[in-house]
Amino acid sequence: MRESLHELMDEGHSRKNMEEKQKESDESIKRPFLDEKEKSFLFPLLIELFQRIEGSLEAIKKMTQQARNKFSDRLFGDHFDRVMTEETERIDILLRNLLDYIKVNFTIQKSGTIHKLLEETIQKNRPKLEKKNLYLLKRFEKDLPETIVPDEHLRYMFNSILQHGLLWMPAHGNISFVTRSFSSPKESPGEQTPFRWEGRYIEISFLFDGYKKTAREGMEFELKLVEEMVHRHQGVMKFESDPQKGKTLISLILPAERRKVIYYQSVG
């Protein structure tokens, strides 16, 4: 009886150990090979490494082509060229496939979009800015949130505002680009507007110092289109002008994105 009891107890312990090991095994399978923090650190390094190797392969290809006619033995030179070309192409294909695999399996959190697009807009209009010798001042909020507005719409609005301002700016004037985020303001009954404030917002301001146009009436067609697009995205556009000081402020107030936006890198 005692022996059978001990056998049952041993069997129970063995079964429990097996279940615990199976549970640990299942958890290890479910758990990702790398967590998000490790991915965010490792994958960009791998991408940079592959890109550097690709650069080295290109250098090897060029040297191989240049060395082809340098061999005294022509047959060996042709063989050397063929083997090196095939091997470098094989490695290149392997690296590109690995790089594309990493890109489609690694998501990147979208960040800094507004500042990137403002810089892009400035570069696009750089010749006109330099022609008038305009001084640019940037005051960007650190870690500015994303907005719900699509990138292409932001590009259109930023470019339209800057091109409009450039048309009315004299030589040697100043243009300031300012960004900030804020929570919904509390309006008193006397200050209420048809616009409904809710959540967080981002303000992108263009300050033109030396702006010649003095009145909003007869606002240019391109600004009316920008204003319509801002309203479509539940935002507000401000146009303030001080004729005496020659300063005009055009600002866009847009809803901030509440969600974490992620995307995959393009391949190919």
Let me know: does 123 contact 159? Beta carbons within 8 Å.
Answer: no
Task: Count the domains in the chain.
Answer: 2
pLDDT tens per residue, range 203-217: 999 999 988 765 554
Specify the pLDDT at position 145: 95
User: Whole-number mean pLDDT of the chain?
Assistant: 81
Specify the pLDDT at position 114: 98
What does the pLDDT average to over 48-68?
Answer: 81
Specify the pLDDT at position 96: 85
Cα separation, 49 vs 209, in Å, equals 46
Same domain, 245 and 149: yes
What does the pLDDT average to over 223-248?
Answer: 91
CATH classification at residue 162: 3.30.565.10
Instruction: Report residue 39: phi and psi, to 5°.
Output: -60, -45
Specify the pLDDT at position 152: 97
Of 59, 79, 105, the residue at which a domain comes to its end is 105
Same domain, 170 and 225: yes
Confidence bin at 148 (pLDDT 50/70/90) = very high
Pick from 131, 229, 216: nearest CA to 172: 131
Same domain, 84 and 180: no
Specify the pLDDT at position 61: 81
- Judge whether residue 28 has pLDDT over 50: no
Same domain, 42 and 82: yes
Same domain, 101 and 211: no
Query: Is 39 contained in some domain?
Result: yes
Query: Residues with Cβ < 8 Å from 73, sequence gap 6 or more?
Result: none
- Judge whether residue 147 has pLDDT over 80: yes
Specify the pLDDT at position 163: 94
Query: Residues with Cβ < 8 Å from 149, sequence gap 6 or more?
Result: 233, 235, 254, 255
pLDDT tens per residue, range 160-201: 999 999 988 999 999 999 999 999 765 544 444 555 667 899
Same domain, 235 and 117: yes
Of 57, 88, 105, the residue at which a domain comes to its end is 105
What does the pLDDT average to over 31-55?
Answer: 68
pLDDT tens per residue, range 87-132: 888 888 888 888 888 778 777 788 999 999 999 999 999 999 999 9
Pick from 199, 206, 210: nearest CA to 163: 206
Q: Which domain holds residue 170?
A: 113-186+193-255
Of 56, 89, 105, the residue at which a domain comes to its end is 105
